[in-house]
């Protein structure tokens, strides 16, 4: 299992195009990936679940379980903390 | 009947009306039988694949024609159509013997309701979910989800709201304009209308109901109005306006990306006034050669806490990177006592425009000013940034501000943080600054004349008072004299002098400003092509 805590970067938070980009990236990994925010845990490969989950500047945790878990959390954390999409 | 809403995309048009049937599909059957379950699940998967493929195709078409922003909407829709959680929620229902066409609508509605309860922006995402799940349901029933197929002649589209899948299905050239009951300037329909180059009036409200029977509609996207069943005279007027606008637009388009030069060969830089980093791409499209005024107030307003240094850095860096080598002038915070600032005790002022604002407030509140200077210095490493101080009344304020800037730079360097070169300039907007221009020029790398405030302060005439319109133009001998004095001081010191008030974009004022010695003009982006044309014809 791998886990990274990060801050949401995009101006509009997680939805729309940044959300689509995030989910596309998550789907590229075979690991199961979830996002944790507060006491919520959602499937990181579901755009409907991650939409509206967090706003710019909020802390989230990305957790993955599987063969490519390390790579998955790193790639996704970098994507979601960047300010541009 | 006249409908009034928001002019979300400019232009005028007149034509027959078209009212699409955008009602949600009604499922044909609610229930299925036990032995149909597996076959229905397979049908559902096929339907989502078909819808996702069609959405992806539309997105790719938009992307290849350069409409990246609209294409992004379709990326989002493709992901929703293929969503694993949506699929498992539908599967669960189908196993309980609900038909997939009904189940997908119910599952979609659950997400839509959640989104609608969040905030205004997320409420728009609710329409996105309904749009996509509606398409899957229609696909399952073998129906076309679009009544736009029935649209044969170029028409004005009247609808409660238009989803991206609706506007994308309209054949090229068939839509002359959009009128919608809901929506704002940032709705999909508004973005699409602007990218299609057709007028749109959105948010006309319930009045639309009464207009749906109209045979013909005249729409004015500049004014934000639509007239149903206009008389012949109105039709003729709209046709003339439409032709004139098309001609003017075509003529101005040639000027978007030219370097403006007068017949004498004087090169005049034409830049954009921006209120946020998100406007950068649009401004570049209009032909902006830089940013003459980047307002930073938007970062501070309507929020509960002050923005962090990092948040400010992100915004300044984004605009600097978008403009690359082109100059971006960032104006430090200028909020008057008429607007609230979180965490700052501003106290009530009798005359906020003559009060504690601009550089006056910044110098008194280092907790506010230093993070902004730090963010600007850091962003300066990412592009060609300059900084400008507002409301300066004497050279002492400028010296104090520059001192604080130097100290802040030293602090960053001591921390090992990357900073960039930064020219400092003064916004000339108080008569005092114009009168002290020679002295200020020795301490500045550039001047930028803010004509809006300079007019208000010179003529002692409130900008917002309708009755004082006569005293609200830069075309007044007293204002022109101050501009001349400012230009003379700048030219003597060998520094550039720009104008970033409304006057900079007014075709009548541009020749006068250039005669007085102004070397740069900065304005709202859509005014740029016209200003370049005016300069080129001098």
Three-state secondary structure readout of chain A: CEEEEEECCCCCCCCHHHHHHHHHHHHCCCCEEEEEECCEEEECCCHHHHCCCCCCCCEEEEEEECCCHHHHHHHHHHHHHCCCC
**What is the C-alpha to C-alpha distance for residues B122 and B106, in angstroms, rounded to an integer?**
19
Provide the pLDDT for residue A85: 42
Question: Are B86 and B116 in contact, with CB atoms under 8 Å apart?
Answer: no
Element of type H or E holding B488:
helix B477-493
Q: Which residues of chain B have pLDDT under 50?
A: none
Nearest-CA distance B185 → chain A (Å): 16
User: Which residues on A lie below 8 Å from B85 (Cβ)?
Assistant: 43, 46, 48-49
Please state the domain extents for chain B: 23-140, 147-250, 254-536
pLDDT of residue B16: 93
**Is residue B280 left, alpha or beta, with left meaning phi > 0 and alpha meaning psi from -120 to 50?**
alpha
Count of CB atoms situated within 10 Å of the CB of B42: 11
Q: Which value does ipTM take for this structure?
A: 0.91
Dmax over CA atoms of chain A, in Å, equals 32
When scoring B56, B69, B72, B76 by the number of chain A Cβ atoms within 10 A, the one with the most, hence best to mutate, is B76
Active site residues of B: 188, 500
Task: Give the pLDDT of residue B302.
Answer: 63
What pLDDT score was predicted for residue B88?
A: 95
Q: What are B355's strand-pairing partners?
A: none
- Read off the pLDDT of residues B6-19 as tens digits, 9 standing for 90 and up: 888 888 999 999 99
pLDDT at residue B466, rounded to an integer? 64
* Nearest residue, CB atoms, B80 vs list A9, A11, A47: A47
Catalytic (active site) residue A85: no
E strand segments, B450-503: 497-499
List b or e across B59-93, with b for residues whose CB sees 16 or more CB atoms inside 10 angstroms: beebeeeebeebbbbbbbbbbbbbbebbbebbbeb
Q: Compare CB distances from B72 to A17, A46, A49 and report the shortest one's residue.
A: A17
B448 DSSP assignment = E
Which of A48-57, A59-68, B313-322, B412-421 has the weakest average pLDDT? A48-57
- For the question of whether the overall pTM of this predicted structure is more than 0.90, the answer is no
Chain B contact set for A52 (CB, 8 A): 114-115, 118, 122, 125
Subunit contact B311:A57, Cβ cutoff 8 A: yes
Residue range B147-250, CATH number:
3.50.30.10
Q: Say what the pLDDT of residue B305 is.
A: 80
- Within 10 A of B516 (CB to CB), how many other CB atoms are there? 19
Beta strands in B195-253 (DSSP E): 200-202, 216-220, 225-228
| Alpha-carbon span B182 to B202, nearest angstrom | 6
pLDDT in tens, B121-132: 777 788 889 889
pLDDT digits (tens, 9 = 90+) for B60-90: 877 876 677 778 888 999 999 999 999 999 9
CATH for B254-536, options being 3.20.20.70, 3.20.20.60, 3.40.50.2300, 3.40.50.850: 3.20.20.60
Determine the pLDDT at residue B23: 62
Flag if B318 and A9 touch (Cβ within 8 Å).
Answer: no
Radius of gyration of chain B (CA): 28
User: Alpha-carbon distance B130 to B111, whole Å?
Assistant: 9
Whose tokens are 């500049």? That residue is: B222
User: From the candidates A15, A21, A37, A49, which is the catalytic residue?
Assistant: A15
* Predicted local confidence at residue B116, as pLDDT: 83
Domains of chain A: 2-81 (3.30.1340.10)
B296, B312 Cβ separation under 8 angstroms: yes
Alpha-carbon distance B238 to B230, whole Å? 10
Interchain contact B314–A (C-beta under 8 A): yes
Of all helices (H) and strands (E), which one includes residue B330? strand B327-331
Task: Provide the pLDDT for residue A83.
Answer: 62
* Distance from the Cα of residue B80 to its chain's centroid: 27
Domains B23-140 and B254-536 agree in fold: no
Nearest to A22 by CA among A62, A59, A70: A62
Which chain A residues are closer than 8 Å to B75 by Cβ? 17, 20-21, 24
Q: Which CATH class is domain B23-140?
A: mainly alpha
If you ran DSSP here, which 8-state letter would residue B350 be given? S
Closest by Cα among B513, B532, B505 to B428: B513
Q: Distance from A39 to chain B by nearest Cα, in Å?
A: 17
**Cα separation, B462 vs B456, whole angstroms:** 6
Q: In the structure encoding, which two tokens stand for residue B449, read together?
A: 């004349």
């Amino acid at each position: 299992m791998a886990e990274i805590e990060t801050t949401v970067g995009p101006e509009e938070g997680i939805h729309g195009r940044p959300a689509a980009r995030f989910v596309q990236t998550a789907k590229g990994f075979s690991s199961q990936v979830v996002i944790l925010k507060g006491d919520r845990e959602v499937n990181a490969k579901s755009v409907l679940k991650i939409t509206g989950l967090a706003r710019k500047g909020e802390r989230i945790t990305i957790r993955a379980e599987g063969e490519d878990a390390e790579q998955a959390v790193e790639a996704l954390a970098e994507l979601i903390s960047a300010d541009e999409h | 009947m006249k409908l009034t809403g928001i002019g979300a995309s400019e232009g005028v048009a007149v034509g027959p009306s078209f009212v699409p049937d955008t009602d949600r599909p009604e499922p044909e059957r609610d229930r299925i039988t036990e032995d149909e379950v597996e076959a229905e699940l397979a049908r559902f998967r096929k339907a989502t694949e078909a819808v996702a493929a069609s959405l992806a195709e539309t997105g790719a078409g938009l992307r290849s024609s350069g409409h990246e922003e609209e294409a992004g909407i379709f990326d989002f829709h493709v992901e929703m159509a293929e969503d694993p959680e949506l699929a498992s929620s539908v599967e669960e229902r189908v196993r309980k013997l609900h038909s997939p066409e009904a189940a997908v609508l119910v599952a979609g509605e659950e997400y839509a309701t959640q989104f609608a309860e969040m905030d205004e922006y997320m409420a728009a995402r609710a329409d996105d979910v309904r749009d996509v799940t509606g398409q899957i349901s229609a696909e399952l029933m073998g129906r076309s989800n679009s009544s736009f197929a029935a649209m044969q002649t170029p028409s004005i589209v009247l609808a409660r709201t238009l989803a991206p899948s609706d506007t994308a299905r309209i054949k090229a050239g068939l839509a002359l304009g959009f009128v919608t009951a809901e929506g704002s300037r940032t709705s999909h329909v508004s973005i699409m209308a602007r990218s299609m180059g057709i007028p749109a009036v959105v948010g006309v409200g319930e009045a639309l109901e009464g207009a749906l029977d109209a045979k013909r509609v005249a729409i004015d996207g500049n004014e934000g109005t639509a007239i149903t069943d206009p008389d012949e005279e109105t039709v003729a007027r709209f046709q003339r306006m439409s032709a004139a606008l098309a001609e003017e637009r075509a003529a101005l388009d040639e000027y978007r990306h030219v370097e403006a030069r007068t017949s004498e060969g004087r090169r005049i830089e034409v830049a954009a006034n921006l209120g946020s980093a998100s406007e950068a791409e649009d401004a570049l499209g209009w032909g902006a050669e830089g940013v003459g005024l980047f307002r930073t107030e938007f970062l501070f307003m309507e929020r509960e806490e002050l923005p962090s240094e990092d948040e400010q850095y992100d915004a300044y860096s984004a605009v600097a990177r978008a403009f690359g080598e082109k100059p971006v002038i960032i104006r430090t915070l200028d909020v008057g006592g008429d607007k609230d600032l979180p965490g700052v005790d501003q106290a009530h002022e009798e005359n906020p425009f003559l009060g504690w604002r601009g550089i006056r407030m910044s110098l008194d509140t280092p907790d506010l000013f230093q993070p902004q200077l730090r963010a600007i210095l850091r962003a300066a490493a990412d592009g060609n940034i300059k900084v400008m101080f507002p409301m300066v009344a004497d050279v002492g304020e400028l010296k104090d501000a520059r001192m604080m800037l130097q100290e802040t730079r030293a602090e960053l360097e001591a921390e090992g943080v990357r900073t960039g070169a930064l020219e400092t300039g003064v916004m000339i907007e108080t008569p005092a600054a114009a009168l002290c221009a020679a002295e200020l020029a020795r301490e500045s790398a550039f001047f930028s004349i803010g004509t809006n405030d300079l007019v208000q302060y010179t003529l002692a005439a409130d900008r917002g008072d309708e009755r004082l319109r006569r005293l609200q133009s830069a075309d007044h001998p007293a204002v022109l004299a101050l501009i001349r004095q400012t230009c003379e001081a700048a030219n003597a010191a060998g520094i550039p002098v720009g104008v970033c008030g409304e006057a900079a974009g007014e075709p009548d004022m541009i020749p006068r400003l250039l005669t007085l010695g102004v070397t740069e003009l900065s304005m709202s982006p859509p005014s740029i092509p016209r200003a370049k044309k005016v300069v080129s014809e001098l």
